[in-house]
Structure 1
Amino acid sequence: MKRGLLIIISGPSGVGKGTVRKYFEANKDLNLAYSTSMTTRKPREGEIDGKDYFFVTREQFIQSIQKGELLEYAEFVGNYYGTPLKEVNRLRDEGKNVLLEIEVQGAKQVQEKCPDAISIFIIPPSMEELENRIRGRKSEPEEIVQQRLAKAEKELKLVNQYKYIVCNDDPKLAADLIQTIIYRNIEIEENK
């Protein structure tokens, strides 16, 4: 059995990574396994521990860093986010194509550790639209909104570090493009 692909989906906060992913993650032909990230932030309404994120304390997260249990991690607006390494390896060894939906800082760490990773950067149609999406959540104070927008401007300058760039003007179309990218890379691996 061939080892599964490692697929990074990244982009600025509010670009719609999760929304786009929901359009294709259930496609059985892609043989995807979503890697659930770990975070120290509090759950948003409707988020489920173990499905959307593993919600842990700051102390638990720091212990995971110290033990080398994370493929990548980053701290953003006072919270840690990271990818448990053991789970990613288990899924890939089972032949699953592992999907990571992670921040730009974490994506860079994964690309350094796993140069075979397929990296996809999702961009917004405009900064104005990105701001509308972030504000539309109505889940964070103005200070955090401003931090997210400032970080997004910096992150958008890093698109050249990714193999593929997809604009999320229409989530269904963006999802179709990402599915095509994944199919193509599965085909390439099968023909090796």
Structure 2
Amino acid sequence: YIVRGRARHVLVVAAEQMTRALDWTDRATCVLFGDGAGAAVIEAGGENPLAVELSTSPDVETLRVPGLTGSSPYKTAQDRESVLSMNGRRVFKFGVNAICDTVNKLVCDASIAVEDIDHFVFHQANERILSQAVKRLGVPDDRVVRTLRETGNISSACIPLALDRLANTGALHAGDTIALVGFGAGLDVGGYLLRWK
């Protein structure tokens, strides 16, 4: 990070090339994942972050993203040990719970209500997970950013891309509260609640 006066600036970069790890005959995974990259500069200071939540549930079999063999980022995995595998039902349940539980923990830590959040930027795993989480949280659908139709699931890159989409629509204003929640292989979850400046 870079320290300038009292503020700390952190550059967060997310880049994924999931297509390298796919078995293109496995319709359960190959139609879901794409490649992408995104970055954000986060400044700590003042009231930000309002809350942070990190957790892991050791389960590498529900969503397994193995280490890839070979050195070329453009060459598809050649052996079964380098191919992504996923239990779709378990990932669905985990994803919905991860989003809802993390949002509830963030608002509890920040002493605000879910209704006080202006925008929700969730991991763009699939539309069913997003819709179920939105329904369970009871938040208006128009507060949830969606990029799936244009990008598919680009893994960790989806949150900075969705945040950029939100910032460029004109819907984001100074003072707005944003909840960011991501999850993935591991099974890991990260949440961040901030006030937009």
TM-score (norm. length: structure 1): 0.35
Give the structure with the higher percent helix. 1
Give the structure with the higher percent strand. 2
**Higher-Rg member (1/2):** 2
TM-score (norm. length: structure 2): 0.34
